[in-house]
Structure 1
Amino acid sequence: MNPLLFSNFTATSCAGRGLDATLAALTEGRAGLAPCDFEGAALGTFTGRVAGIEDAPVRADLAEFDCRNNRLAQMAMTQDGFEARVREAIARHGAQRVGVFMGTSTAGILETELAYQRRDAANGALPADFNYATTHNPYSLAAFVRAYFGLRGPAVSVSSACSSGAKVFASARRMLETGLIDVAVVGGVDTLCLTTLYGFNSLELLAPGPCKPFDLHRDGISIGEAAAFGLLERESPEHANDDDAIRLLGIGESSDAHHMSSPHPDGLGARMAMQQALASAGLDARDIGYVNLHGTATPSNDAAESRALTSVFDRVPCSSTKGATGHTLGAAGALEAVIAALALRHQMIPAGVNASEPDPALGLDYVIATRHAPLRAVLSNSFGFGGTNCSLVFGRGAREARGAASA
C-alpha cells in the first residue's frame, strides 16, 4: 500500500488527557486503573475511568448528541490542538473532502440503560427525551464528530468489537486511495456502561485487581474507557523527506471464524493479520522494532496471541499497554495506534505495566520497564470477539515510506 501520513493525533484515557500526560504515564510505567466506582456497578474489579466526563456536556448546539460517549469524544478532540488541525484541513480541502471513520463497541448504550431506569411504570414506555439515534446508535459517534466539525464528507462507524478502533484505518485508507476524500479523521471512543461491565463479569473475565497482561499470574481484564483521534492523509511534497513524520505503512485484517468469544487457540487469525500487515508495508518481520500487543490479560487470549507472535517474529520486544489504560474495547485500536506513534516519535518501548513476572511459557521478549530504542517501524495488534482481527504497521522517517511504496 502507499504510505499515509498519520498526523496531529491525540488520546485521552485513565492514563491521562492528551499526549503529554499519556507519554508521562507510559514513561513512568504508571497505571490509571482504580477500584470500580462506576454508578450501579457493584463489582469487585478495577476500571480505567476518565475523570470529569459527568461535568462536561457536549457543545450546546449539539445537545441532542449528549451522552457519556460523545462527551469523552469532545473532551479528547479539544486536546493537543487537534480541533484546530481538523479545521485547517477543512480550510485546505473543503468540508466535503474530509471523511470521518470512528470505531466503537457500545457507543452511548449507557443512555439506553438510564432510559430504561426511567421508563413509565404504567406502560413501560421510554422517556420522551431519550433519543436512540443520536446516543446509543453506533453511528451516533461518527455523526457527532461530523456535526462537531461541520463536515459533509462520508462518515462511517465501525463496530467490530475490540478491533473497531484499528479497522477504521483500513476503511479510511480505502476511501483515500479511491480518491473519494483527501483527509480522514480516524478514531475510536468507548465508555464505561453497565452492559459491558456486567457482560464481561458474566463471562468470568474481569480481574479482581489491576489487569496483568502476559504475567504468570494474569487473571482477567480491567475495563477502561478512552477516546483517540488522528488525521490520515496522502503524502504531500513537504513531508516526502521528513525523517520525523509518522506514517501508516501497512494494514492486515483477518477473521478467525473460530468462536464467538474465544480466539483461535493457535492464534491463526492473529498470525494472518500480522503477516498481511507486514506484506502490505513491504517489510520483513526483522524490520519491526516493537509490537504493541492486544494483550487483554486473560490466560487464553494472551497465550493465543503469543503463539501467533512467535510464529511470525523472532524475539521482538513487545508489551501490552492495557495494564496502564485498561481494555478500552472499541477505542483500544485507536488508542494503541496513538501509543505506537508516540513510541516512534520518542524512540521508546513502553512498559507492560503490572506485569512483574512475565509468563516464561509464552516465550516473549516482554518489556516490563520502559526503555529507549532506535525504532523505525512498529506493529500494533487489535483482536475482537468473533475473531475479527486487525494489525497496523507504523513507521517513522522517509526511508520506510519510500521502501513501502516501491514494494
Structure 2
Amino acid sequence: MENGSRAAYITGLGIVSPVGVGRETFWEAMLAARSGAAPITHFDASDFAVRIACEANDFDPRDFMEKKAISRVDRFTQLGLASAKLALEDAGAWGFLESTPERVGLVLGTGLGGVGSMEDTQRTLDAKGPSRVGPFAVTKIMPNSGAANVGIMLGVQGPSAAPALACACGTDAVALGYDLIRRGDADIVICGASEAPLTPTIVAGFIAMKAMSRHNEAPEEACRPFDANHSGFVVAEGSAMIILESEGSAARRGAEPYARVTGFGRTTDAYNITDPDPEGRGIYRAMKLAVDSAGLDGSDIGYINPHGSGTPAGDGPESHAMARINPEVATSGTKSMLGHSLGASGAIETVVTTLAVKNRVLPPQRNFTELAEGCAENLDYVADKPKDAPDLKAAICANLGVGGHNAAITIERA
C-alpha cells in the first residue's frame, strides 16, 4: 500500500565523522572548512607510500554500547550503531520504535564490511592456528553484520537491507529507505551507511590502484576536488544514518522535518572496474533520473554535493555531468575536508546536502585555487567560506562507486 505522498521526510540526522560526532559539531566543521586529514594512527604506516587518512578520532564506542558488545562487532558496526542512535535521538523517534518496532525499517550499507576483523582473524590464524579463531569471526566480517547487529540492538522489526555498492551505497541506502516509505512498507526507516576501511590491506590496495593523494607532508591540503593540483583522494572512516519518515507519521508525531527526499536515480556505467566513464554519462543519467522523478527541471536544482573525490579521472566527467543538469549550479567537494569514506560517503554527504537545504547555506570546499583542466568552467565552485543561498529549494547528492555504480537523490525544502 503506497503512503499517498511522493516524498519521504528527513526528521533525524546522526553522524560520526573525521571532523566530529553529532550533527551540530559536524555542521560547524563543514562551514569552517575544517579538515579531518592527518597522519595515520590506526596502524603503523611508516613503510607505506601514503601515510595520511581521515580518522574519526573523537569517536569512542563506549559512549554508545557496552564493553562486551564492542568486542563482538567490527568497528564499522560500532560506527553505524552510534550514528543510528544519534539519528533516533535527533528525530525524537525512540518512543515510536519502542511501541511499534514492526513499522520501523533499517537500511545500513557498507562498501567493505568488517575488513578490519577479517585482517585480525587472519593474523590470529597465522600466528596461533585455527583453534584460536573466535566464535564471532564470521559475524563480525560479513557485510550485513552492521544491519543485523544494529537491528538487534535497537529492536527494529520492519524490513531491513544491507546494500553494498562500493562508494555509491550510502546514497543508494537513502534511496532504498525512500522506496520503503513510498511503498508504505514502513512509517520510519533508519537508513545510511558505515565504513571502517583504515587497515593495511585496504590502504595498500588503494596505493596500488594509484587512487590516493601522496601529499603526506601536508595532509589537510591533499584532497583537492576539481583543482588543478588534484592528485587523488584521502581515505576516511565514518558513518551517517538518516531518519526518513512518511508525511503522515511525521505529522502524527509532531516532528519538524529538515527536508524531503523527492527523487532518486540509479545507473551503471558498464565501462571499467576502477575508472568512471570518461564522458560522465552514467552519473549524469543518475542525476537526471533523480531530477525527473522529483518532478523538477534542472534549473530548479540550486546545489549539487558531488562525489568530488579529487581524482583526475573522475572530477572532469562529473563536473560536466553537473553542468548538463544546470550549467551554473553551485557545488562544493566536501571530501576535501572529510576524506573519502568509501561506502559511507554518500550517507555523510546526504547529511551535508540536507543541512544545506534546511539552513539555506552552502558549505565550502578546501583546497580550490585553480580549476583543473577539463572541468566545467561555468559551475559555481563554492570555496573557502560558506555561501548564503536564500532561494535554495532543491539540491542533489550524487556518488559514483568502483565498478561503475552511480546513485543520486533529490532533496527539497520541507
Is residue 389 from structure 1 mapped to residue 406 from structure 2 by the alignment?
Answer: yes
The alpha-carbon distance between structure 1 residues 267 and 71, as it changes in their structure 2 partners (threshold 3 A), is same
Per the TM alignment, residue 61 of structure 1 is displaced from its structure 2 partner at its CA by: 6.2
Query: Pairwise mapping of residues 321-400 of structure 1 onto structure 2 (< 5 A)?
Result: 321-359=334-372, 361-362=374-375, 363=377, 364-368=379-383, 369-374=385-390, 375-397=392-414
Counterpart of 2:228 in structure 1 is 216
Residue 195 of structure 1 is aligned with which of 191, 198, 201? 201
Equivalent-residue separation in structure 1 for 2:131 and 2:122 (angstroms)? 6
When residues 271 and 91 of structure 1 are mapped into structure 2, their CA distance, relative to the original with a 3 A threshold, is: same
Q: How does 1:291-330 map to 2 (within 5 A)?
A: 291-330=304-343
Aligned length: 395
Q: Offset of 1:360 from its aligned partner? A: 5.8
Q: Is the 8 A contact 1:77 1:83 kept in 2?
A: no
Structure 1 residue 197: Cα displacement: 1.1
- Give yes or no for contact 1:104–1:158 (8 Å, CA) kept in 2: yes
**d(CA) in 2 for partners of 1:253, 1:359:** 27
Counterpart residue number, 2:243: 231
1:363-400 alpha-carbon deviations (Å, 9 max, x no partner): 23211131111211111111101110001110113xxx
Task: Give, in angstroms, the shift of residue 311 of structure 1.
Answer: 2.1
Match of 1:175 in 2: 180
> What one-letter code is carried by the residue in structure 2 that aligns with 1:183?
I
TM-aligned CA deviation for residue 84 of structure 1: 7.3
The residue aligned with 2:218 is none
Partner amino acid for 2:228?
A: L
Identity %, equivalent residues = 29
Distance (Å, rounded) in 2 between the aligned partners of 1:336 and 1:194: 26
Letter of the aligned partner of 1:166 in structure 2?
A: T
Tell me the CA shift for residue 78 of structure 1: 4.3
Instruction: Check if 1:69 corresponds to 2:73.
Output: no
C-alpha displacement at 1:144, in angstroms?
1.4
* In structure 1, C-alpha distance between the alignment counterparts of 2:91 and 2:304, rounded to whole Å: 31
Residue 63 to residue 237, structure 1, CA distance change in 2 (3 Å):
closer
Q: Distance in 1 between matches of 2:157 and 2:88?
A: 22
CA offsets 1:326-366 (integer angstroms, 9 cap, x no match): 00110011100011011112211111122232326412321
**Structure 2 CA distance, aligned partners of 1:357 and 1:341?**
28
SS at match of 1:216: coil
Q: Which residue of 2 aligns with 1:115?
A: 121
- Which secondary structure state, in structure 2, belongs to the residue aligned with residue 201 of structure 1? helix
Aligned to 1:33: 37
Cα deviation 1:191-221 (Å, max 9, x = unaligned):
1222321111110111023211111100011
More displaced stretch, 358-367 vs 282-291: 358-367
Q: Distance in 1 between matches of 2:61 and 2:292?
A: 46
Question: Could you tell which deviates more after superposition, 148-157 or 158-167?
Answer: 148-157
In structure 1, C-alpha distance between the alignment counterparts of 2:10 and 2:109, rounded to whole Å: 17
- Give me the TM-score of the superposition, normalised by structure 2: 0.89
Q: 1:55 to 1:126 in 2, by over 3 A?
A: farther
Indicate the residue corresponding to 1:278 in structure 2. Answer: 291
**Alignment pair present for 1:159 and 2:176:** no
Deviation at 1:86, TM superposition (A): 3.9
Q: CA deviation at 1:134?
A: 2.2
Determine if contact 2:7/2:182 at 8 Å carries over to the other structure.
no
Q: 1:88 aligns with which of 81, 90, 95?
A: 95
Q: Which moved more, 1:309-318 or 1:249-258?
A: 309-318
> 1: distance between equivalents of 2:45 and 2:59?
17
Deviation at 1:245, TM superposition (A): 4.1
Aligned in 2, Cα 1:394/1:239: closer, same or farther, shift over 3 Å? farther
Q: Give the aligned residue type for 2:381.
A: Y
**SS of equivalent to 1:158:** coil
Deviations 1:289-319 (A, max 9, x none): 1110100100011111112112222110111
Q: Does the 8 Å CA contact 1:106/1:136 hold for their aligned counterparts?
A: no
* Whole-angstrom distance in 2 between the partners of 1:259 and 1:223: 21
Any conservation in 2 of the 1:382–1:391 contact (CA below 8 Å)? Answer: yes
Q: State which of 24, 27, 52 in structure 1 corresponds to 2:28.
A: 24
CA offsets per residue over residues 218-249 of structure 1, 9 Å max, x none? 00110011110111111128759999641001
Distance, in Å, in 1 between the alignment partners of 2:107 and 2:239 is 13
1:147 maps to 152
| C-alpha contact (below 8 Å) 2:282/2:406 kept by paired residues | yes
Residues 2-23 of structure 1: CA deviation (Å, up to 9, x unaligned): 0110111121211111111111
Letter in 2 for 1:188: A
Aligned to 1:9: 13
3-state SS of 1:12 partner: strand
TM-score scaled by length of structure 1:
0.90
Residues 17 and 237 in structure 2, CA contact (< 8 A), matched pair in contact too: yes
Corresponding letter in the other structure for 2:232:
G
Over aligned residues, Cα RMSD in angstroms? 2.4
- The corresponding residue for 2:106 is 100
Shift of 1:32: 1.1
Distance 1:243 1:113, change over 3 A: closer
